[in-house]
A and B are shown apart, each in its own frame.
Chain A
Amino acid sequence: MKKYDSSRRKFMQISIATSTMLLIPRAGFSQTQNHNEMYVPQFFNQEEWNFICAITDQLIPEDELGGGAIAAGVPEFIDRQMLTDYGTGALFYMSGPYHIDALPTLGYQEQYAPNELYQHAIAQINHYLQQKYQKQFPDLDAETQILVMKELEAGTIPLQGISSSTTFFNLLWKNTQEGFFSDPKYGGNKQMMGWKLLGFPGARADFMDFVDKPGKPYPYGPVNLAGKRG
């Protein structure tokens, strides 16, 4: 029995091929960006919105499997979440004193609610990139964007007042996946594309008829909370 060996993996070869392809800077985000152009952000300002659109497009790019974060409406999802009890921090204990330098294993210790964390982080990242490349994130070529994202993830981009750029990156990546996979009523997962990708039947929530058929492909597409079929 072998342990994981990623170099053998077929999908990896595909993904390597795709990523080379994606290194060519693309004009705009994709043909499916129209939807997000129609949506008027309620929370983010233009600079923040451009950042979110550009970075989520790199987190889940469009590929031969179909639309990515942009087509799925992830930026709209994130924007809408920022005004909920989650975004404003009303779900969390947000009283001081704050110890943002506490060990990461002790959990979220930021002095900012999620929506404030977005604002503070985006402004500082763009400022940093302006100094380094004389450009903001959306204007960088794809290769540099990915490099910057790896730095964000590794925590090496200095952010004042925030424990580390990793915290921000992780939050953004978590919200991006939520937007890709949650019910379409929250603005993301348009056409249930995240669910279709996996083969998740959405809100069906009744498998009485299929529990006796282990290993058989499930024949029905997803339904959402509004009762629509995907």
Chain B
Amino acid sequence: MLTKKAQKTMPKTDVVVIGLGWTGAIMSKELVDAGLKVVALERGDHRPTSEGAAYPGIADELSHVQRFRLFQRMKNSTVTIRYNDESEAVPYRQLGSFYLGEHVGGCGFHWNGMTWRALPEDLQIRSKYIEKYGEDFIPKESTIQDYPVTYEELEPHFEMFENVCGTSGQAGNLNGKIIEGGNPFESPRANDYPNEPLKTLYSGNIFKNAAKKLGLHPFPIPASNASKPFTNPYGVRLGPCNYCGFCEDFGCYMYSKASPQTTILPALIPDPNFELRTQSEVIKINTNDAKDRATGVTYVDKNGDLVFQPADMVLLCAFQIHNVRLLLVSKIGEPYNPQTGNGVVGKNFAYQYNTSATIYLKEGAINNPFIGAGASGTVIDDFNGLNFDHREGNFIGGAYIAATNTGGRPIAQTHTAPGTPNWGAGWKQGKKEGYQRTISLNAEGSVLSYKDAYIDLDPTYTDRFGIPLARMTFNWHDNEYRQGDYMAKQLTKICEAMENVESFSVQKITGDWDTRNYQSTHITGGAITGDSPKNSVVNKYLQSWDIPNLFIYGASAFPQNLSYNPTGLVGALAYHSAKAIKERYLSNPGPLVK
């Protein structure tokens, strides 16, 4: 398929966008507004809110969560997974620890909406840790590196993304002034969030009181679930969230959760300079013989025909793992070699490491877990970034600890009371008790990058077109296990300080990465950003070092993983790039960093 000649060539366009999820929508809108002709190729279908998220059909857990209604058809394509270089990878046959999106809106249609700004030290991780703890504190096998862009440079772009999303939150640091009730550790913001925070729910209140008692600093999670009716900078209107409890894995029928559908597409799709082609799966980025210029992309259209779309600029917006795979199959850039450490494509693949607590409340507690929103919850940042002393726990990175309430859906979001048998007599009783009386805390932790964690092409398994699948080689390292020990201690203290608790248990990951149960879709790296072509695939504007008319968006750019959910930073990096393209690249199309 990769070597076949296209049956059809389309008229040339200024810009071709691969994938119309969050980053594809942002970049299409920004460049259409700059007067360019943009063609977006999306492998899935068009799913406007009125079709993909209409009530009552949306309130169906079996179809959306258990049967992955909005997600990638694994039959067509997947990835393979192994823990180390020595073993053979096996396919990720069913979605498990991370989900892959498909269709217009991408994962942005059915995400939770937690919208974070990176901490300054997240972006300068290597130098800030060396500065504070010395060179030896960084594990030898780790390949973490600084971003080539700082928090200060990204600040206005974080703000733009929050304004587009109508993010609901409480500022903690406005231009250096610490504000009560917000996150005192956050980096200075020029302006407050566009919407006030979501309401604090039952578990959030209990957690908040316990955290305060311990001298910690609870605040509401920044949520792109609009707390009020809101009109964003593109003139698109969002409705107020009604805490429906069918949020992550679902589209939002209330038009409250920010998604490309609810924030950008209504202003983009009618634009005559924009064209969307659905059921169009890109299989290759085409280049000239010298491999210093992208000429366009090749895709399979809805009839199964192979089509060439020529373009002056190619924007790769297909989501982290698909971005990396498209680069590898298109033979763009030097693939990373874990033995020599040479090559950059596929380098620094990372994930997140979670520690959690399950709390069983006293008899009579009524938690009403079905009342929830994708990002409703209370959180502390006291054990994140450089906000605490890492010498005690002896690890790099951190976690945010949160009590979230996203829905209490009966198949996948229920707990049984402690001591309940797994099944059979007594199970129903334990399920009933556990439903109202259980709350949980999650410490979502960062993960370092390592020499032996990377992405390449699988030698055996292929997609429906016979093109090799991406292969993930990844497992936890000692730094993460030590983080788990430390977070488990903090979780224990918090649980002990909580009111109305009958008993609790703390769970930390000890063995291999378990790919079976959902953890998060925050997979990162593989086409990382850096300050030189030797250590990265893209420069600070997400422009390919090798091919200046190719830009690569999404969490594939992260040199290592944050503890935060990625999309705030993904969005800010996209707006930062859009500005450079509009102000500098269009008048002088060449490398933006020399």
| Residues in chain A within 8 A of chain B (CB atoms) | 1-7, 9, 11-12, 14-16, 18-19, 21-22, 58-61, 63, 65, 68, 84-86, 89-95, 97, 99, 102-109, 146, 149, 153, 173, 176-178, 181-183, 186, 194-195, 197-208, 210-212, 214-218, 225, 227
Contact = CB atoms under 8 A, between A and B. Distances in A.
Contacts of B414: 181, 198
A93 B429 contact: no
B431 A92 contact: no
A215 B504 CA distance: 20
B427 interface: yes
B93 interface: yes
Contacts of A109: 90-91, 93
Contacts of B246: 205
Given A6-B419, A18-B425, A102-B90, A203 B365 contact: no
Given A3-B504, A9-B418, A205-B245, 17 more contacts: A4-B505, A5-B419, A12-B419, A12-B426, A15-B421, A16-B426, A19-B425, A59-B423, A63-B425, A68-B428, A91-B75, A92-B75, A95-B91, A106-B81, A106-B82, A107-B96, A205-B246
B496 interface: yes
Nearest to B461: A95
A6 B409 CA distance: 25
Contact of A216 (B62, B244, B366): B366
B66 A93 contact: no
**A interface, over-half SS:** loop
Contacts of B205: 214
B242 A207 contact: yes
A29 B78 CA distance: 42
Contacts of A182: 60-62, 66, 411
A187 B426 CA distance: 24
B425 A227 contact: no
Contacts, number: 220
Given A181-B411, A208-B243, A211-B199, A11 B60 contact: no
B400 interface: no
Contacts of A200: 370, 408-410, 435
B483 to A, nearest CB: 19
B202 interface: yes
B67 interface: yes
Interface stretch (B114-122, B332-340, B513-521): B513-521
Nearest to B240: A208
Contacts of B422: 153, 173
Contacts of A225: 56-57, 59-60
8 contacts: A4-B503, A9-B419, A11-B429, A12-B419, A68-B428, A92-B75, A97-B460, A182-B60
B245 A91 contact: no
Contact of A94 (B55, B93, B201, B371): B93
A16 B425 CA distance: 8
A15 B75 contact: no
